[in-house]
Amino acid sequence: MMSRKRESSKWILSRELKDTTFIEELPEGERGKPFVITPLGTRVKRILVSGTVTAKSTEDNYTKLTVADSIGPFYVTVFNSEYQPDTKEMADALELNEMVTIMGRVNTFKTDDGVIYININPEKIMRVDSVMLKYWTSRCQRIAIRKILAIGEMSKLESPDRAKLVAMGYSDEEADCAIRHLEHYKSYDIQGFREAITSASKIPVAEAEDASLKEEVLQFIKTHADPQKGCKYEDIVAHMKGKNADQAETDELLNILGSEGEIYEVALKRYKAV
Amino acid sequence: MAITVDKIGEQTKNETMIVKIISLREKETKTERGEGVYHYGMLGDGSGTLPFTAWSIPATIRAGDVVELKNFTVKKYNDALRVYIDSRTEVVLRPDDKLDVKHVYREYKIKDLNIKDAFVSVSGILKDPIEKTYEKDGQSKTVVHCTLEDDTGSIRLSLFDRKLAPGRYYKIDGAKLSEYKGRYRLTAGDKTQIAEVSSFRIPDTKIYDINELMRPVDSVNVTGVAVFLGEKGGLISRCSECRKTIDDIRCPDHPEAKIFLDLYAYFTIEDGTGDIQCNVGRAGLLELLNLKEEDLNIDKPKVSKAEVSKRLAEKILSVPLLLDGDAVLGTNGPLFRARRIRRMDEPLLKKVLQAYEGEML
């Protein structure tokens, strides 16, 4: 039997995964999880992330974690698996504000209206310290900035040319990423992305996500949703404004609840609790 | 008017050149169309040298002959220009001509050496010479094995019948590059030109991304996080005769030989650009695990196998590491032989990040 090379993990900041809108189609007859293509053209199946545990909910069969790097959250679901019993145990033992490094597979869910939710199914969870977080963040920034530079150079060419970019000193991976970016994310705000990741240098003191706000949104949806049509987005935003959460924060909370499987969109901008 | 070798480019067409065939080798091929033979080697003139491939060449041509070539073609192969001689090329022997050849070798940084280019020019500081004598044709000769280091890495260099001063910088022009047990090495023979050059800055750490380590290079650094630690590593017993790992109390091949305790670990690290298998031996692990030589006395060991395995996991897993060592070619691809493993703390991380920043700037 031919041995397959181990798929090494990609190191990306949360923003790159959050902004992902493209899932590669699996070749016919192939099963398993597909690769996602991020805005920087990174082709991701296995990922290694570091951050602080900001939310956790534990069930018998799974544990959900939110792990935040310095610019946003990763959503993590750890299932009870006979193959990796230690992983669930480790997740259950984690406390809020603990720093972790997680290696796992990305798992995608696409809604009918094309919105993609991505979470991580861990293969390995490691407790780490702030040095590891700083190291991981700086590596992610360096990798991302080199990809952004490669995209800039590729954009200047008349047509994408991998060999030319490699001749300029970029790696094969960086050249491939630039080509994939131009194929799938040509109109992406790369400057905005660069500014966001540059700000990631500051490793924040762990700030737990405001779990009470999330609970507030969930309770509001549960109590105010029409049995058929669900709860209006505008009503949720208006309610949360009264709780000092602006629209962007409410969007983020809705995303979290959606990716955690607590709510779903029954129709455009109408939500119901599961 | 004949063109000279130094004027040849990819666009060269319908030109004539008068060159010396410096070397000529034959290679047999087997294809679907049958078996065949082609020749390859080096040609040159007073302006330089180039490799060539001759799909067809008169059988009378020998290395050392001066020939006139018409209708040859030039293409890039392995990033280097190459002259191609085929059935349309006119090859005229010029038996009365003599031609001095100027050898021009491509200059490389040690990290960029590629076995596809067999004769190269490299500059660096000479270190750690070890002199040995050997017999050839009844005469005693000397060879000095040393290390040549530049700002990108280092390489083993063998100097035949020459002595150079350690600590000085040299340009080694026309050294032969070869591979032995996954590592590159240079050999300076009697045709190799060596000249002392002025010194240049060599950084303490030469940190590479893992995906840059596709070819062998010594004395480099990688950083990363270990995502796998081999279970068979740790405190092991070895036969003093064959140095094989022993699972029993004695070596099956050398039952009389003494057994000694040793340290060994293998693991995989990732840095976001890829992964690489690493191994580390006794010296590197003694430092990492805070152990002394006497702790490994087989009659009175101060640590147990389980204790070493536990310490190894604590020191290697879940922490950012800085590895010093050599990138080599293993049977399954690139491999990193670590001489030293350091767990990064704040000051070391700062140093590493500065090294990365310097490179980005």
Q: Which residues contact A54 (CB under 8 A, 6 or more apart)?
A: A66, A67, A68, A73, A96, A97, A206, A207, A208, A209
- Separation of alpha carbons B111 and B324, rounded Å: 15
Rg (CA), chain A: 20
For B67-95, b where at least 16 C-beta lie within 10 A, e where not — what string? bebeebebeeeeeebebebeeebebeeee
For A143, the closest of B273, B346, B352 (CB atoms) is B273
Phi first, then psi: give them for residue B12, nearest 5 degrees.
-60, 125
Predicted pLDDT of residue A199: 78
Cβ pairs A/B, distance under 8 A: 65
Predicted pLDDT of residue B19: 96
* Rounded alpha-carbon distances, angstroms, from residue A222 to A216, B60, B305: 10, 94, 57
Q: Rounded to a whole number, what is the distance in Å from the CA of B339 to chain A's nearest CA?
A: 22
- Separation of alpha carbons B56 and B179, rounded Å: 31
Mean pLDDT of A123-130: 94
Q: What is the ipTM of this complex?
A: 0.79
Does residue A260 have a pLDDT over 80? no
Predicted pLDDT of residue B146: 97
* Rounded alpha-carbon distances, angstroms, from residue A146 to A40, A72, A170, B271, B359: 10, 21, 8, 14, 11
Pick the more confident residue, A226 or A58: A58
Signed CA dihedral, B61, B66, B69, B74: sign only: positive
Predicted pLDDT of residue B218: 97
Residue B271 touches chain A, beta carbons under 8 Å: yes
For A126, the closest of B211, B212, B318 (CB atoms) is B318
How many C-beta atoms lie closer than 10 Å to residue B203's C-beta?
11
Q: Are strands B48-54 and B34-45 parallel, antiparallel or unpaired?
A: antiparallel
Predicted pLDDT of residue A91: 95
Pick the more confident residue, A115 or B108: B108
The percent of residues above 70 in pLDDT, for chain A, comes to: 94
Using pLDDT thresholds of 50, 70 and 90, give the confidence band for residue A228: confident
Predicted pLDDT of residue B149: 97
Q: For residue A14, what are its two tokens?
A: 């949360």
Predicted pLDDT of residue A247: 80
Phi first, then psi: give them for residue A170, nearest 5 degrees.
-85, 155
Does residue A209 have a pLDDT over 50? no
Pick the more confident residue, B58 or A210: B58
Chain B residues near residue A145 by CB distance under 8 angstroms: 360
Using pLDDT thresholds of 50, 70 and 90, give the confidence band for residue A274: confident
Phi first, then psi: give them for residue A174, nearest 5 degrees.
-65, -40
Q: Which residues contact A29 (CB under 8 A, 6 or more apart)?
A: none
Q: Give me chain A's average pLDDT, please.
A: 88
Confirm whether pTM is higher than 0.80.
Answer: no
- Per-residue pLDDT tens digits for A230-249: 888 888 988 888 877 778 78
Predicted pLDDT of residue B271: 96
Q: Which residues contact A61 (CB under 8 A, 6 or more apart)?
A: A79, A80
Query: Taking Cα atoms as reference points, which of B316, B322, B349, B338 lies closest to residue B222?
Result: B322
Rg (CA), chain B: 26
Residue ranges of chain B with pLDDT lower than 50? 360-361
